[in-house]
Amino acid sequence: MEPTPQPPAPTVEVCYRHPNEQTRVHCTRCGRPICPQCMIPAPVGYQCPECVAQARREFRRGPGRPIRGGVTVTKALLYAIAAVFVVEVLTGGPRALFEGPNPGRLIDLGSMQPFLIADGQYWRLFTAMFLHAGVLHIGFNAYALWLFGSIVESNLGRTPMVVIYVLSGFLASVASYAFGPESSVGVGASGAIFGIFGAFIAFNYRRRHLAMAEANLRWAGMLIVLNILLAFAFGGRIDWRAHLGGLIAGLAAGTFAEGWGTTSQRRLVQVAGLAGLVALGIALVVWRTTEIRELPFFDEGLAFFQQLGERS
């Protein structure tokens, strides 16, 4: 009778800083094994001293500094927005600088218009985030993008910054499209910037045990209250649906982009989480498109906005 095969002995891991200390705990940021002496409590699990020190260096680095030199993603986005605004002013007439182009010209340039999107012009969900209605509109948005984009990019990196901006801008447009009036003509980077702001909140919330992160969260809370008051004050001139959709998308995208768990688990969270947000946006677009196409006045509304764009 052959002996029953025995299961393999469990792998014994040791702390990467103290080779004589056995452990089964891993740093939630880098995945390396750490012993009780090296465990530093984190929002999820424990982190090693090196990762905690790196996080503190990232905070001290501050906004506006490129990670590896050259043009940052934040600057590139600002350049793109400015270039499109120049086109708006040149093609929109003498009043476009302060008031923005007329609705017909904005439609021609790629604004967010539900009837046209329902007719198949889905690219408007992206192009609208690069258009603005006047110099004050782009000025406020550019300042907010420079401020929060620089911080998010310096802490999360260039690729996550691009993903968060585009994804938040898309979902902000989707929120406006799905829950806003069919006759609206929407423009602005506000939704995408609220997404960057949401990622800023998510990043600091995970580090709320640090004094600077706690201060940043208080600052973010005051800004949210201020924006709520502005939404009430300006009424229909502010698309609060896009702002709220972008903020929620940024909170989720920022959380997923940073991930949690071991290195392999973090990658799974990043891919699955961000893919889930894209799927949610697509599902809302499909639902709203079906709803708009079934409206009894869909053909009339579509014809009106098509002609409005052609007359510009």
Would you name the residues annotated as active-site residues? 190, 243
What is the gyration radius of the CA atoms in the chain, in angstroms?
24
Burial class of residue 237 (count of CB atoms within 10 Å of its CB; 0-12, 13-18, 19+)? exposed
From the list 280, 218, 216, the residue with the least C-alpha distance to 248 is 280
Tokens, residue 39: 């465990």
Amino acid at 30: C
Query: 47 by DSSP, 3-state: which?
Result: strand
Q: What residues pair up with 41 in beta bridges, in sequence order?
A: 46
Give the CA dihedral 170, 148, 63, 32, nearest 10 degrees.
-60
Amino acid at 48: C
Task: Report the distance separating Cα 308 and Cα 304, nearest Å.
Answer: 6
8: left (phi over 0), alpha (psi -120 to 50) or beta: beta
Query: 158 by DSSP, 3-state: which?
Result: helix
Contact 39, 190 (CB under 8 A): no
Query: 41 by DSSP, 3-state: which?
Result: strand
From the list 28, 13, 135, the residue with the least C-alpha distance to 85 is 135
- Biggest distance spanned by C-alpha atoms of the chain: 96
User: CA-CA distances (angstroms) from residue 142 to 136, 164, 286?
Assistant: 10, 17, 32
Burial class of residue 215 (count of CB atoms within 10 Å of its CB; 0-12, 13-18, 19+)? exposed
